[in-house]
């Protein structure tokens, strides 16, 4: 597609694009049409130079769809749909470590997630992204056939990357609903994108517990193999934040992980989900 209103700069081969010089609070419908096309194509977009507070962040985000709910964090009083993720200098745990798609342990996980960088460390704290359509495409026809029809169980309590299930909480994220840590949902192991119709792998190393109807031990070798495919370097990209970046990623087609390599520095992001339907 040729872009006339925006000048996207691809992050790398597989995923992501940065768009500079656009004030998202002022963008017209022609600009939004190109942003939406780019979003489907690149799956993760980054707009530096935005000056947003929780309310204006929500307003801009609504251009991507209805804002959903994240069950485990308390939002801002003035805009409860937006919450803050903070890692203070003295903390060692971060939010979102380990490859995952967001909130897959709910029946209707968010179609997308918005992140806005408020404060960033002088080095580190990057986020990685991986293209799950490329990961699916890389499999043999035989394996694709075997995966068709399989469903995977996703659990809020499964946190292999070391999160809440390991008994740790993030001191600086206002957690709520900790009694709902048993949330669980079952989804197709290969999902079809609701807009583009493309197929993507939909299991992740953080929340997937097993394949429906299989034991965890039986599931583990296949799941581990799929995670290895998902995390192949050529399917990934990495974003280096500065303050004032509006970012959005497509949870139907991408995974992400927050790199925890900035102990001693503060990092703060505002975050909100864009509602999604039941994966098919
Ligand atoms: C997340 O939403 O998983 C966190 C991403 C980040 O803070 O980079």
Per-residue pLDDT tens over the stretch 106-154: 999 999 999 999 999 999 999 999 999 999 999 999 999 999 999 999 9
Question: Does residue 87 contact residue 271 with C-beta atoms inside 8 Å?
Answer: no
DSSP SS3 for 32: helix
pLDDT band at 37 (very low <50, low <70, confident <90, very high): very high
Residues ≥6 apart with Cβ < 8 Å to 96: 85, 127, 256, 257, 258
The CA 207 to ligand 1 mean position distance, Å, reads 15
Q: How confident is the model at residue 181 (pLDDT cuts 50, 70, 90)?
A: confident
Mean pLDDT across the chain = 94
Nearest CA to ligand 1 atom 5: 258
| Bigger pLDDT: 217 vs 73 | 217
The answer on pLDDT for 163 being more than 50 is no
Set out the domains of the chain in order of their start, with CATH numbers: 8-274 (3.60.130.10)
Alpha carbon nearest to ligand 1 atom 3, residue? 96
Is 271 considered catalytic here? yes
For the CA of 271, the closest atom of ligand 1 is 2
Ligand 1: residues within 6 Å at CB? 85, 95-96, 113, 115, 127, 256, 258, 269, 271
Nearest ligand 1 atom to alpha carbon 267: 7
Residue from 256, 260, 261, 274 whose mutation best tests the ligand 1 pocket (most atoms within 8 A of CB): 256
Q: Is 193 annotated as catalytic?
A: no
Which residue from 166, 156, 154 is spatially nearest to 93, judged by alpha carbons?
166
Which residue owns the Cα nearest ligand 1 atom 1?
A: 96
Residue 138 tokens, joined = 């890389």
Paired residues of 46 in beta bridges: 18, 247
């Amino acid at each position: 597609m040729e872009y006339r209103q925006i000048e996207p700069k691809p992050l790398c081969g597989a995923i992501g694009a940065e768009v500079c010089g656009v004030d998202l609070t002022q963008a017209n419908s022609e600009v939004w049409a190109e942003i939406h096309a780019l979003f489907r194509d690149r799956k993760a977009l980054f707009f530096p130079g935005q000056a947003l507070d929780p309310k204006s962040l929500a307003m801009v985000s609504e251009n991507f769809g209805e804002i959903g709910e994240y069950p485990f964090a308390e939002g801002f009083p003035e805009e409860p749909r937006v919450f803050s993720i903070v890692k203070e200098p003295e903390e060692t745990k971060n939010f979102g470590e380990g490859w995952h798609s967001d909130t897959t342990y709910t029946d209707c996980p968010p179609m997308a997630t918005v992140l806005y960088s408020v404060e960033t460390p002088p080095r580190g704290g990057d986020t990685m992204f991986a293209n799950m359509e490329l990961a699916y495409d890389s499999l043999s026809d035989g394996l694709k056939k075997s995966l068709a029809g399989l469903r995977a169980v996703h659990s809020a309590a499964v946190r292999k990357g070391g999160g809440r299930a390991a008994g740790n909480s993030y001191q600086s994220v206002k957690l709520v609903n900790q009694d709902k840590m048993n949330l669980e949902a079952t989804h197709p192991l290969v999902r079809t994108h609701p807009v583009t119709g493309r197929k993507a792998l939909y299991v992740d190393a953080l929340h997937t517990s097993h394949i429906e109807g299989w034991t965890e031990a039986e599931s583990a070798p296949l799941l581990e193999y799929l995670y290895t495919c998902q995390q192949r370097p050529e399917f990934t990209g990495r974003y280096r934040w500065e303050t004032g970046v509006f970012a959005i990623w497509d949870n139907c087609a991408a995974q992400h992980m927050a790199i925890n390599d900035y102990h001693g520095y503060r990092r703060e992001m505002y975050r909100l989900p864009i509602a999604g339907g039941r994966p098919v």
